[in-house]
Chains A and B, each alone.
Chain A
Amino acid sequence: MNRPILEVRRLSKAFGGLKVNHEVSFSIREGELSSIIGPNGAGKTTLFNLITGKLVPDAGEVLFRGERIDGLPPAEIARKGIGRAFQITSIFKERTALENVLVAVLSRMRRTGRMFRRATSYPDAVRESMEILEMFSLADQANAMASALPHGDQKRLDIAVALSLHPELVLLDEPMAGMSPEERAGTVELIRRIWKEKALTLLFIEHDMDVVFSISEWIRVLNQGVLLAEGTPEEISRNREVITAYLGEEIE
């Protein structure tokens, strides 16, 4: 068994009196493709926000490769190798698809402070950006404004931006939300392919149980801010507690 890439220890966060995350502990093995499921308001996105530095935990620790990262600003956590795509698509709308990816690639190359050459005159950065767009089937739209892309393409661009930083761990927050069934199938394939090719560790939040149970190696269930259970898809689908709390009658 691989060593953990991310460890979350008794992580807690409350908004007012509401315990959105309460003493959540788990660890993610390197190279794992796993998911987090749970009803709306279970604290899934908050957990992502705590891991990626958007929020500072009230208590507990987050360790990335054995190093404390809780409380660090998002920019530093991103630099350490944790990438993130967003539930509500978070891209640079009035910039082209290429520019969206290019700025992230330039950031990884630590060139965002350069002032005297055109951003598009860094051939290696542009080439890599085009390769990333290619991987997401967005190369044909490279010069289209991000805001003009269809919703599914915008979602994929969001993931493309996250991958431009060469992260080791990628958190995807409902990567398929709002997509048509065909787009979903394509995106599932895409995620699986990238996970394999790039040897990534992937953690995603998703409501589509078919997707979750078909591609996850490991599933974690969050309910009312508490980690209810974790295990393989088979274990989770047989877990009484999970069935009553969340899955209901859907899974036999």
Chain B
Amino acid sequence: MTGGTEGKPRTLGETAQWAAGLLLFAAIPFAGRAYYITMANEILVMGLFAMSFNLLYGVTGMLSFGQAAYYGVGAYTVGLLLSRGVVPFAVALPAAFLLGGILAVVLGPLCIRLTGVYFTMLTLAFAEMVWGVVFKWYDFTGGDNGIQGIPVPDALRDPVRYYYFTLAVVFACFWILRKVVESPFGATLKSIRENEERVGFIGVKVRRYQLAVMVLSGAFSGLAGALFAGYQHSIHPDMLHWTKSGEVILMSILGGVSSFFGPLVGAAIILYIEDMIGKYTEFWEICIGTIMLAIVIFFPRGVIGTFETWTERLRGVRKGSDEPAHS
């Protein structure tokens, strides 16, 4: 029988995952505490940010240590446009998406000249430059004061409403990202991750695809930053700091870079731990460090990745009998 995977429909399990995730987030406001909504909102925003990062790392194999630049530029786009009343929110949000992408059009070609750890260093260096500009340019960005009192439209002023707005935008983005990852473009990106050189020999201009994925990732990171700015009403240069870039790397690895929702799960775990332990000690970073260490040693493929391996193995045992004998 040939063409076994031809037009394979989305599996029931996958649809169930999406529905469960959406329902879970939709139910949060009914838990009745404003704190939960803030938490869930941050998980969604950082989840989107981490998943845009993972489009580069987990999917294409490009470890960027500078995604905070795009996240921050998105936030500042919304912050500056709204606090000066230049355009309405409905324009500022897409503008943040666009500017995130445009920044990648500028920085991307400079970064992809090199590969591996040198690429990573370039992304870090350029992100630090962007951070430096935002931090120092008082007249325009407000420097280390950041921007406070960012107005959002009345319809979204209520935190619960804004939360549902975020939920809708973030899940729409997840859906688009999923489409991209499974498309021929996504298949090409994964091939680049596996063997960049060979992709060239099958007639694909690798650099062009690396730039395209940087632009996509930058745009979605920018949108994540914009959503955060709208919720928090205030932004700060820390959003562009290299530690922010590091955070999404940690989240993605913790959750599992090879699974689609891994970065979102990683974001939820890290934000939750940060919050839980943060209540008791200011040294919560030590706990995060310890947990990361344990994850890397015991769950090398991340929480979701390892879980998937287990379920695959279980399934493998069940259908082991119809596998062909070793030749």
Contacts and interface: CB of A to CB of B under 8 A. Distances in A.
Contacts of A139: 2
Interface in B158-198: 179-180, 182-188, 190-191, 194-195, 197-198
B202 A120 contact: no
Interface in A147-173: 150, 161-162, 164-165
B188 A142 contact: no
Contacts of B179: 115-116
A99 B184 CA distance: 10
A108 B188 CA distance: 12
B6 A112 contact: no
Contacts of A95: 190-191, 194
B287 interface: no
Contacts of B186: 115, 119
Interface-central residue, A54, A92, A122, by most chain B CB under 10 Å: A92
Interface residues of A, number: 52
Interface in A56-109: 73-76, 78-79, 83-84, 86, 90-95, 98-99, 102-104, 106-108
Contacts of A122: 184
Interface residues of B, number: 34
Nearest to A123: B6
A32 B186 CA distance: 38
Contacts of A161: 198, 202
Given A78-B202, A103-B202, A104-B202, A112 B184 contact: yes
Given A112-B184, A134-B2, A121 B7 contact: yes
B190 A112 contact: no
A91 B187 contact: no
A140 interface: yes
B184 A113 contact: yes
Interface stretch (B203-211, B259-267, B268-276): B203-211
B3 interface: yes
A115 B181 CA distance: 8
Nearest to B209: A112
B11 interface: no
Nearest to B2: A130
Given A115-B185, A119-B186, A107 B203 contact: yes
Given A104-B202, A107-B202, A112-B184, A120 B195 contact: no
A79 B160 CA distance: 54
Nearest to B185: A115
A26 B278 CA distance: 72
Name which of A75, A116, A134, A161 has the most chain B CB atoms within 10 A of its CB. A75
Contacts, number: 128
A108 to B, nearest CB: 7
A165 B195 contact: no
Given A118-B182, A119-B182, A122-B184, A143 B4 contact: yes
Contacts of A140: 324
A146 to B, nearest CB: 8
Nearest to A152: B327
A108 B5 CA distance: 20
A142 B195 contact: no
A52 interface: yes
Contacts of B5: 98, 120, 126, 142-143
Given A78-B200, A107-B188, A123-B6, A93 B206 contact: no
Contacts of B318: none
A93 B183 contact: no
Contacts of A79: 203
A93 B6 contact: no
Contacts of A143: 4-5
Contacts of B187: 99, 102-103, 106, 112, 119
Interface in B308-327: 324, 327
Contact of B195 (A92, A99, A117, A126): A92
Nearest to A73: B200
Contact of B197 (A90, A112, A164): A90
Given A98-B5, A112-B188, A120-B8, A150 B327 contact: yes
A127 interface: yes
A111 interface: yes
A120 B7 contact: yes
27 contacts: A75-B200, A75-B201, A75-B203, A78-B202, A90-B197, A90-B201, A91-B198, A93-B195, A98-B5, A103-B202, A106-B188, A107-B204, A113-B184, A114-B183, A114-B185, A115-B184, A116-B179, A118-B7, A118-B8, A120-B182, A126-B3, A130-B3, A140-B324, A142-B5, A161-B198, A161-B202, A162-B201
Given A92-B191, A112-B187, A150-B327, 12 more contacts: A73-B200, A75-B206, A95-B191, A103-B199, A108-B203, A113-B212, A119-B187, A122-B184, A123-B3, A126-B3, A127-B2, A139-B2
Interface of B: 2-8, 179-180, 182-188, 190-191, 194-195, 197-206, 209, 212, 324, 327
